[in-house]
Amino acid sequence: MKKTHLFAVTVLLSILAHAFVSLAMPPFDPAKVPAAPDYARPESWLHKPAAPKAKVDVFFVYPTVLFNDTDWIMNTADPEMKNAARSPLLTQASVFKGQANIYSPMYRQMNLAVLSLPDDQAALIKKVGREDVWRAFLYYLEHENQGRPFFLAGHSQGSMVLADLMIQHWGSTGVEKRLIAALLIGWSITPENLTQNPALKLCERKDATGCIISYNTMENGKQKKAPTLLPGALAVNPLSWDTGKEFVPASKNLGAVFFDAQNQPTTHPGFTSAQIIDGGLIVKPQNVDLVTVKGGHFPAGVYHAFDYSLFYENLKANLADRINAMNK
């Protein structure tokens, strides 16, 4: 992992440290790393269509769902972990439903409690999940994609892993022209990242392709407390689909969508405005109670868990715009 991203992960973990100080984690034992997923086996995929129907795909990497006090690394064969990973598939990734075939691999993600480990052990854990996702992506390209255009998408740890992989590999895969867009939501892309790999670029228009969409939602004044907002972070405003700093009113919000405990959606048109200030996507929700997580891992006013929900219908409409642009 490059120094920038090692620093980024360290920032994320240090801010979240308070959530884990009371956990009685067992000593980390490298000999007890869970077995690697075999992506030739169906059970190694959270979702993979047997008969793809859409003309485009999405390769979706789920966010952090491992928060227990026993496992440093996710065991992808554990039914409980698979069930936990399924929730963001049914909520966040549902913006792609009906528009793209969804391919989502299980991967041995890290428990954020790795903060308590020495640097060398922590680096080993981070590498495990990153290499799983890369192997899954290569398998997807060789055996599943069949030449279709595709999105990359994730959230939080999923977006972090995809960002690391794009910085390391993008421009040398041979499939760059098939990328519709990379939704690296809930993580930061910085000018340094774009310098590290000139093949990367942010989306500047609603119909741009081959580019990255990244933003982190919060109320103004919380930028320095937002764990995933890195110094110098760039952002794309999902109400204007550019990187401008102009205020965009809530009237442009087609609908925030919130999911109940059974993952059933409720839509709220015009729920929030959006403006990029100091790298953060600043929002003013109509009902703060709907974006408040009691006992959550993020500071009050940082709406990380709702990065997709707040702009759900705009995301959904924009996917169609970019798919149409790709097909022209």
pLDDT digits (tens, 9 = 90+) for 195-245: 999 999 999 999 999 999 999 999 999 999 998 999 999 999 999 999 999
Q: What is the pLDDT of residue 19?
A: 42
Q: What is the pLDDT of residue 149?
A: 98
- Counting DSSP H helices and E strands in the chain, the numbers are 6, 11
- Phi and psi at 158, nearest 5°, equal -60, -45
Instruction: Using the predicted structure, report yes or no on whether residue 12 has a pLDDT greater than 90.
Output: no
What is the DSSP-derived secondary structure letter of residue 174?
S
Interatomic CA distance for residues 158 and 187, integer angstroms: 9
Interatomic CA distance for residues 254 and 272, integer angstroms: 10
Model pTM score: 0.92
Among 101-115, 175-189, 203-217, 271-285, where is mean pLDDT lowest? 101-115
Instruction: Using the predicted structure, report yes or no on whether residue 4 has a pLDDT greater than 90.
Output: no
Which SS3 state, helix, strand or coil, does residue 212 take?
Answer: strand
Question: Which position has the token pair 């989502």?
Answer: 104
Q: What is the pLDDT of residue 27?
A: 85
User: Is residue 57 within a helix (H) or strand (E), and if so which, with residue range?
Assistant: strand 57-61
The pLDDT confidence band at residue 115, using thresholds 50, 70 and 90, is low
Interatomic CA distance for residues 234 and 318, integer angstroms: 19
Instruction: Using the predicted structure, report yes or no on whether residue 7 has a pLDDT greater than 90.
Output: no
Segment 314-324 shows an average pLDDT of: 98
pLDDT: is 111 or 39 the higher one? 39
Summarised one tens digit per residue, pLDDT across range 147-176 is 999 999 999 999 999 999 999 999 999 999
What's at 35, amino acid-wise? A
How far lies 47's CA from each of 38, 84, 88, 268, in Å? 14, 13, 12, 28
Instruction: Using the predicted structure, report yes or no on whether residue 73 has a pLDDT greater than 90.
Output: yes
Q: CA angle 125-233-237, nearest 5°?
A: 115
Q: What is the pLDDT of residue 119?
A: 80
Segment 288-315 shows an average pLDDT of: 93
Across the chain, what does the average pLDDT equal? Answer: 91
Interatomic CA distance for residues 113 and 157, integer angstroms: 13
Query: For the chain, what percent of residues have pLDDT higher than 70?
Result: 92
Among 28-37, 170-179, 293-302, 318-327, where is mean pLDDT lowest? 293-302
The pLDDT confidence band at residue 2, using thresholds 50, 70 and 90, is very low
Q: What is the pLDDT of residue 3?
A: 43
Instruction: Using the predicted structure, report yes or no on whether residue 85 has a pLDDT greater than 90.
Output: yes
Instruction: Using the predicted structure, report yes or no on whether residue 250 has a pLDDT greater than 60.
Output: yes
The pLDDT confidence band at residue 327, using thresholds 50, 70 and 90, is confident
Beta strands 150-155; 57-61: pairing state: parallel
Half-sphere exposure of 266 (CA within 13 A, CB side): 7
